[in-house]
Amino acid sequence: MRDIAAELEARREAGLYRHRRTIDGPQRPALNADGKPLLSFCSNDYLGLASDSRLTEVAARALTDHGLGGASSHLICGHHRAHHELEKKLAVFTGHEDALFFSTGYMANLGVISAFAGKGDTVFSDALNHASIIDGCRLSRATVRPYPHADTDALASMLADTPGHKLVVTDGVFSMDGDIAPLRELARICKDHNALLMVDDAHGIGVLGEHGRGSLAHLGLSPEEVPLLVGTFGKALGTSGAFCAGSGLHMDYLVQKARTYIYTTAMPPALAVATMKSLDIVQSDDWRRSHLAALVQRFRAEVSAMGYELMPSNTPIQPVLVGSNESALALSRALEEQGLLVTAIRPPTVPAGEARLRVTFSASHSEQDLDRLLDALSNCRPLASTPEIRSFAAV
C-alpha cells in the first residue's frame, strides 16, 4: 500500500504543503482569516462584487421566488427560465450567438474540450494554461501537444505538421502571470490552419475591454475569430458558475455532448438571477475598472522602484517573483506579520524555481489599503539580503 503519511511529510519538507485558512464573514479585502484580521491581496474578486448588497438582495428575493435547489440536471427538469435568460444575456454581452451556463469554470473546460476533441484529434495547449484546461485535454483522449507559452511561431509550425481535427486552447489572461494571450495572432494562425480556437477568459471577463467584455473586446477580436469563449462568474462577477459562448450550432452540440453539462444538477436558479444583476453592474460601473487600473499602475511603479521583480502584466494579477519555495513562504509570512494576506504560489501551480507572491487587486481596495501593502513590502526589503531570495535588487 502507498505510504500516504510519508508523501505528506515529503511535501512538508519540500515547502509544498498546502494549508487552508478559515474565513468568517463576507469576502472583501478586510478579511477575518483563522480568527485574525488580515488585509487580503489574493482574492479574484477583481471588481469587489462578491459581497455587493445589490447582488445579495437580488439573490435573496430570487430565493423566495424560485426556492434554493436546482433539483435535477438541465436535460431532465432542472433548466429553469432564470438559467435560460442568463444564457441569452451572456450571448448579448459577449457578442456570440448563444451561450451555455456551466456549474463551474473547471467543469466548463472539461466539458467543452472533451466535446470538441476526441480520440484521433489533436489539442494544442499553451504551456501555462490553467489546470482545468490540462485536465480537460486529458479527459478528451485526444493527442495533447503543449506549445511554449504564447509562442505563436512554434504553434504555427506544430499546426502545419499535424493532420486531422485541431483544437487550440489558451487562457485569455494567464492566471499566475497576469499576461494576456496573443489572441489576434492565435486567431489568424487558427484560421490559416483550419483549427478551432477556444479561449478561457476567466480573468479577463469583467476586468478588460470596454464595459468589461473581456480580452476579446480588449484586443478588438470578433466572435468569429474566437468561436469558443469560456468565462467564469466566481471571479470579477462575484457570483459562481461559468459559461461557454459560441455559435448556436456549437452550443447545441455541447448540450448533446458535454458530459459535465449533462450529468450534473443545475445550479440554483437564484444564482443565475444574481449573475444577471452582476452582468448589469459590471457593464455600468466603469469606475471599478479605472480605479483598479490606477491601483495596478501605482503598485508597479513603486514596487519595482523598491527592487522587487515584477512580471510584464497590466492586469490586476501582479506576481512578485521570488524563486525558491522557502523564500516565497518567508516573504508571505513576513507580510502576514504586518497584517497582510498575500499567498505564496509554488509548484506545481507554477514552474519549479519560479515561486512567487501572487498579488491581486480588487476595485474594493482603497488607496490606503495599497499604502499598507507598499509599506509592508518596503519593510521586507531586508529579506533581499538573504542569499536564497534570488531576484531582489540592491537595497
- Establish if 260 lies at the interface with ligand PLP (CB under 6 A): no
Q: Measured from the CB atom, is 260 or 325 closer to ligand PLP?
A: 260
Does 132 contact ligand PLP by CB under 6 A? yes
C-beta nearest to ligand PLP: residue: 105
Q: From the CB of 349, what's the least distance to ligand PLP, in Å?
A: 11
- Binding to ligand PLP (CB under 6 A) within 191-210 occurs at 200, 202-203
Instruction: State yes or no: residue 175 binds ligand PLP (CB under 6 A).
Output: yes
Nearer to ligand PLP, 105 or 246 (CB): 105
Q: By CB under 6 A, tell whether 130 contacts ligand PLP.
A: yes
Give the shortest CB-201-to-ligand PLP separation in angstroms: 8
**Catalytic residue list contains 235:** yes
Distances in Å between the Cα of 175 and the Cα atoms of 69, 105, 202, 204, 250 are: 31, 13, 8, 10, 26
Q: Output the smallest distance, CB 203 to ligand PLP, in A.
A: 6
- Choose the binding region for ligand PLP from 99-107, 303-311, 312-320, 332-340 (rule: CB under 6 A): 99-107
Report the C-alpha gap between 383 and 393 in whole angstroms.
11
Residue from 106, 124, 299, 308 binding ligand PLP (CB under 6 A): 106
104 part of the interface to ligand PLP, by CB under 6 A: yes
Closer Cβ to ligand PLP, 158 or 202, answer by number: 202
Alpha helices in 95-239 (DSSP H): 105-116, 131-140, 152-160, 183-192, 215-218
Please state, in angstroms and rounded to a whole number, the distance separating the CA atoms of residues 199 and 112: 11
Q: DSSP state, 212?
A: G
Question: What is residue 3's DSSP assignment?
Answer: -
Catalytic residue among 203, 218, 291, 365: 203
Q: Which is nearer to ligand PLP, 130 or 277 (CB)?
A: 130
Angle at which helices 131-140 and 105-116 pack, to 10 degrees? 30
Q: What is the CA radius of gyration of the chain?
A: 21
Catalytic residue among 80, 130, 166, 235: 235
Q: What's the rounded Cα separation, in Å, for the pair 155 and 148?
A: 8
Binding mask 54-93 for ligand PLP (x = CB under 6 A): ----------------------------------------
Bridge-based pairing state of the strands 309-310 and 228-232 = unpaired
Please answer whether residues 232 and 242 qualify as being in contact, where contact means their C-beta atoms are separated by less than 8 angstroms: yes
> Among this protein's residues, is 175 annotated catalytic?
yes
Residue of 175, 278, 332, 364 with catalytic role: 175
> Interior CA angle at 39 toward 381 and 389, to 5°?
25
Residue with cell 482603497: 366
Packing angle, helices 81-94 and 269-284, rounded to 10? 30
309-314 — which CB contacts under 8 Å span 24+ positions? 309/391, 309/392, 309/393, 311/177, 311/178, 311/179, 312/179, 313/177, 313/178, 313/179, 314/178, 314/180
Residues 227-256, mask of contacts with ligand PLP (x by CB under 6 A): -----x-x-------x--------------
Q: Which residues bind ligand PLP (CB under 6 A)?
A: 104-106, 109, 130, 132, 171, 175, 200, 202-203, 232, 234, 242
> Which residues are marked as active site?
175, 203, 235
